[in-house]
A and B are shown apart, each in its own frame.
Chain A
Amino acid sequence: MGEISLDEMSNEYFDVLRELGNIGAGNATTALAQMMQCKVDMAVPKVQLLEFRELGEAMVGEETVMAGIYLGIEGDIKGSIMFLLEKAAAKHLVGKLMGMESEGDEFSEMEFSALKEVGNIITGSYLNSLSSITNLAIYPSVPDLTVDMAGAILSVPAIEFAALGDRMLMIQTQFFDEMVLDGYFILIPDLDSYGRMLTALGITI
């Protein structure tokens, strides 16, 4: 099996990864709608292969406070996945889920664990769709949640990408219910897993 390089990726591979991202984000939106028991729309996800230097500008800005949910994945595909959501959007989601407006600027312990559950469901449905399309086993770890500057949270997946190459694959998804919820998915398979994913989809490397 050949090795995939994110720095010299052909359009064909990129299209496949983009399509996987689209489907995953679509599934995550459905899961979100079921959980919230309301209609949630999704804009067509924007999939970008970015240089580290450009990361901040591609997002809302490095200092924007965001909630980041991060899980390790094991199985046929190894690596990790992260879901990021702006703090205000995260507050809105959690408030709606718990049936009350969230007070103050910080998350209460209860809100924090509700948010972790939201992240768990969103990333779980994303991974489920990936697993069923590729027919590969994916086992997510227990999620961890942090609320901090976007740049600081992003440094974690960025460093994982940095060990593989000089670019990072990011899927930006906008959800809408009453407000626009800007979410970002970052899937970080190790290089062998890229190969396995593409092979499973019948693409020769």
Chain B
Amino acid sequence: MSVEIKVGMADLNVCVSPDRITTLGLGSCVGIALRDPVTKIGGLAHIMLPDSTTIRNNSNIPKFADTGIEELVKQVTRRGANRSRLVAKIAGGAQMFGFNSNSEMVRVGERNVQATKKKLAELRIPILAEDTGKNFGRTVIFYPETGDFVIRAVGKQEYKI
């Protein structure tokens, strides 16, 4: 029997095949799935902000793209994934509202995606697929068995990347 592991906002977890791991209703946050295709050990992080170094109170590691991704790498490798084989898929980073009064915060989705890509590049983890930006929320389900990243959105057919 496979189990579904749930990841909340500012949260991350490891998932080993045949289990699957999900996070519901990603908006401007970004979901980062990591996987070692050989051991089929993976994990998912749900980050909220791009950069821990610009925030004074930054002890919540999974909240930020930089520290969250580092921690997820640490946890999946501790579980048995090979660091050099890790690949990533990412989703989220939408702009849910259009108004302009606080433009830096409005564009936080875009900045989260940029920071995620920067961190993954720095760690030399290739991004195999992404579904980011635009203006709608996404639920994601990651299957370490196949590497499928299934995406569900309101009014759309479920699709995978």
Contact = CB atoms under 8 A, between A and B. Distances in A.
- Judged by DSSP, the binding face of B is loop
Interface string A21-56: 000000000000000000000000000000011111
B48 interface: yes
Interface in A186-201: none
Contact of A159 (B8, B49, B136): B49
A56 B63 CA distance: 16
Contact of B25 (A53, A63, A70, A143): A63
Interface string A129-152: 000000000000111101111111
A156 interface: yes
Given A151-B24, A162-B48, A141 B55 contact: no
Nearest to A79: B102
Given A159-B28, A159-B49, A74 B136 contact: no
Nearest to B101: A72
A154 B27 contact: yes
B5 interface: no
Contacts of A150: 25
Interface string B44-79: 000011000001010010010000000000000000
Contacts, number: 121
A142 to B, nearest CB: 6
Q: Most chain-A CB neighbours within 10 Å: which of B10, B28, B94, B96?
A: B96
B154 interface: yes
Interface string A148-166: 1111111110111011111
B99 to A, nearest CB: 4
Contacts of A141: 99, 101
A7 to B, nearest CB: 7
B63 A52 contact: yes
B94 A152 contact: yes
Contacts of B8: 52-56
A162 B25 contact: no
A80 interface: yes
Contacts of B26: 151-152, 155
Interface residues of B, number: 34
A114 interface: no
A62 interface: yes
Given A144-B98, A149-B25, A166-B60, A158 B137 contact: no
A89 interface: no
Given A52-B8, A158-B9, A166-B60, A74 B154 contact: no
A2 to B, nearest CB: 15
Interface-central residue, B10, B24, B57, B97, by most chain A CB under 10 Å: B97
A201 B94 CA distance: 38
Interface in B25-46: 25-29
Given A5-B57, A70-B97, A158-B48, 8 more contacts: A141-B99, A141-B101, A143-B99, A151-B139, A152-B137, A154-B27, A155-B25, A156-B27
Interface of B: 8-11, 24-29, 48-49, 55, 57, 60, 63, 94, 96-99, 101-102, 105, 108, 135-139, 152-155
Interface of A: 5, 7, 52-56, 61-63, 65, 68, 70-72, 74, 80, 106, 141-144, 146-156, 158-160, 162-166
